Structure 1
Amino acid sequence: MGKTIYGLDMFHYAELIQDDDKGLEYAKPERLPGAVNVKVDPKSEQSKFWADNGVYDSFNNMGDIDLEAELADLPIEVQNKIFGHKVENGISFASSDDKAIFLAFGFRAKTSTGGHRFYWFLKGLPELMANENKTTEGKADPETAKFKAGFMTLQNKKGKNRWKAQAEFDEGFDPDEWFKQVVYDGASFSTGKDTEDSTSSVDIGKGV
């Protein structure tokens, strides 16, 4: 029997504090309520090597990885943090001096066989998005917030060249376990269940 993916919830983000030869560190993930939709568009370019009068070999080169998400709202305090806006007397000011933070972005989707598929995108730089508002025409028509980030691969050896983690878990799995940390390698994730080895990691490649 085939499997389908549907539904979407539990948007999370986490600041990427460090990613270099000296270390890889994320802040604690934070929830972004009101998930509406998400689109991930990884671009790759195929190079062909010709020999013996034909295509002898092909190589895929990773390009840009664009992620666009739509939410019920992107709270001002979150905008301040991810875009580097300054706050004075409770007022948020955007300026040309602002510096956006690198971050990870996670969420989950349902599977038709039960359970969920979980995701972490590991290193992205958010982009400013346009504002859209319109007058009320007799009934409430809520405006959603857009979020866009360009993702890339990690540099530190712990997650070298990785840009995404995904896994599937059956019904009954506590989703908070996945979102307690950014999963950048197998050792960085534990189900938290009481086992003989309570720190043992699960197979984060399941369902890929």
Structure 2
Amino acid sequence: MANKKNKVKFGLQNVYWAKINEWGVDSDGNRTFPAYGESKHLPGAVSLSIDANGEAENFYADNGVYYVINNNAGYTGDLEIALITTEFATEILGEILDNNGVLVERNDTELAQFALMFEFLGDKHHIRHVMYCCSASRPATESATTEESTEVKTEKLTLKATPLPTGLVKSKTTESTSDTVYNNWFKTPYSPSTQTATTTTKTS
């Protein structure tokens, strides 16, 4: 087990997204875990930088910290990619692909929410993540004339990841994640198990 623990992480690859099509509800009519659409690859990942929203607050009593309030409001940050795919533009950013194959953007477009899955490399095994409820803002449009050397212009999505109604924000694999869960990570957003954790580990 110990020899499978990472000492460092680096790199970004295998970025996938899955649109939230509808929400599950409990017996009281409250939203629960969402129903996701097909998981789709977002190629050309360059970088991902997300910061935590919300800080812990101390409640003081009896001349000391009596209780710590956890204010986990999710994450915000940027995902930089080579080019946004047409599928992501239409299904998530709400752009319209007309009969002539032209992407059309309107001012009354509604943005869709989605899960974002991605992978960081490590020295022993790759760490896979999922953020369950994300939204993305429209990227800037820019390029430049070609000079003596060609500079590739990327596109940047500003992301906001918020908690699900159940409080769930994010999950990631560890050295003790089972083979089944690890190998199926990008097929559909992982739904946390309420069962007692097992000792089965990933073999590769």
Q: SS state of the match for residue 135, structure 1?
A: coil
Q: Check conservation: 1:186, 1:202, Cα contact below 8 A.
A: no
CA distance in 2, matches of 1:80, 1:4: 37
- 1:6 deviates by 1.0
**Aligned amino acid, residue 103 of structure 1:** F
Alignment match, 2:160: 150
Matched, 1:18 2:22: yes
Alignment match, 2:134: 124
CA distance in 2, matches of 1:30, 1:203: 31
Structure ranking higher on relative contact order (CA contacts 8 Å, 6+ apart): 2
- 1:82 deviates by 0.9
CA distance in 2, matches of 1:203, 1:83: 41
Matched, 1:140 2:146: no
CA distance in 2, matches of 1:177, 1:183: 9
Q: Check conservation: 2:84, 2:155, Cα contact below 8 A.
A: yes
TM-score computed with the length of structure 1 as normaliser: 0.78
Q: Check conservation: 1:122, 1:184, Cα contact below 8 A.
A: no
Alignment match, 1:55: 65
- 1:184 deviates by 2.6
Alignment match, 1:115: 125
Identical columns (%): 24
After TM superposition, which residue ranges in structure 1, 4 or more long, deviate above 3 angstroms?
A: 173-176, 201-204
Seen in structure 2, the aligned counterparts of structure 1 residues 202 and 139 have a Cα distance that, compared at 3 Å, is farther
CA distance in 2, matches of 1:29, 1:6: 24
CA distance in 1, matches of 2:94, 2:65: 49
Count of aligned residue pairs for this structure pair:
186
- Taking only aligned residues, the RMSD between alpha carbons, in angstroms, comes to 2.8
Seen in structure 2, the aligned counterparts of structure 1 residues 81 and 202 have a Cα distance that, compared at 3 Å, is farther
TM-score computed with the length of structure 2 as normaliser: 0.80
Alignment match, 1:98: 109
77, 82, 87: which one pairs with 1:77?
87
Q: SS state of the match for residue 184, structure 2?
A: helix
Matched, 1:181 2:192: no
Q: SS state of the match for residue 25, structure 1?
A: strand
Q: Check conservation: 1:119, 1:166, Cα contact below 8 A.
A: yes
Alignment match, 1:167: 173
CA distance in 2, matches of 1:63, 1:203: 31
Q: SS state of the match for residue 168, structure 1?
A: coil
- 1:125 deviates by 1.4
- 1:99 deviates by 0.7
Q: Check conservation: 1:18, 1:25, Cα contact below 8 A.
A: yes
CA distance in 1, matches of 2:118, 2:199: 18
